Homo-oligomer: A and B are copies of this chain.
């Protein structure tokens, strides 16, 4: 595996994050990277902890994703076991055997039920591991559980990430301090390994599983499901949110609890921040691109148009070239297959309209050029049909992407 240079869009440092009461965690080594780095994240939660999640919609998703998607419906979590270096995707019966052994050993060490154990994996696909590979490493991992060292934990399940990703929030809920911390990896892919997006968020609030799941479902579409690097979808994408209850705050058991809205908004902020960090670490990314679509037939239609733009190689290479090529944006709008009013179509780069009412308009080239030279590019498209709107994010398409994914022999 190559050591990639840190993304130019990376934050200067890993953020300072609060503690999350009630959980203990460890970063340790299975040896999937030849013992050169940590590759195992282990977390235990107190009895009564709840969990909610969202998963890749791929039809070829990994054994770990299938496991979590089933168990999360019961809403209770006592342990999380994550490995890097092997995704356990497309591994058939061997993958199921590995998971069974891992779950059994975790249950033995924690004293919990199988449905309270959550698994995730990232790395090479189609390479079955011996069933005991993870299980055998667990006694040592559980022996070193401690108060979380967030940056160390984030690094333990990263693969081709060029920087570790974390985000946090602190709330005062009726006099009780509640903390949230999220960690993420993604979304690089590097030969011959397939990487992915894994996100784990922890809070010491106490939240009933169905309330927590509603929060996750409410925010995932506008955050993690609103980003794209290259239109390719991992077999392993996993988002899990755990609520330990360790803060001592009274449990939130209803959507109508006024504290639910505040926790939900904080959760959304953590999701958004992590999603932006994932895009900023897109392979070869030099610019973060926000695509906003207004005037769609409805929000879904606006979102489809937004992704047609954000996934267009011609739009993404133009932005890499610092060119406000609104013609390519018009092309991408056209191919989306959604209702538009061609004679009202308008495109804006930064604050400058470059096309309006279905045609080119004069604009201040100096202002547009200055915007295009920056690291944060904003494209606004109005398709002139209705009130639908959406925002999606992506990065530009550069030689770096080709080098990372195609230059195997360099």
Interface set of A (CB-CB < 8 Å, partner B) = 57-61, 89-92, 94, 124-128, 189, 191-192, 194, 230-235, 311-314, 317-318, 320-323, 325-328, 330-340, 342-343, 345, 355, 357-360, 396-399, 401-403, 405-409
Contact = CB atoms under 8 A, between A and B. Distances in A.
Contacts of A314: 189, 194, 230, 232, 405
Contact of A191 (B191, B325, B360): B325
Contact of A321 (B339, B345, B401, B409): B409
Contacts of A189: 314, 328
- Identical chains in the assembly: 2
For the residues of A in contact with B, the DSSP-based class is: loop
Given A59-B336, A402-B317, A331 B231 contact: no
Most chain B CB within 10 A, of A92, A192, A397, A402, is at: A402
B231 A320 contact: no
Contacts of A58: 331, 334-335
Nearest to A236: B331
Contacts of A125: 327, 330-331
A327 B360 contact: no
B126 A317 contact: no
Given A59-B336, A192-B327, A233-B335, 4 more contacts: A59-B333, A230-B313, A235-B331, A401-B402
B231 A401 contact: no
Contact of A355 (B90, B128, B398): B90
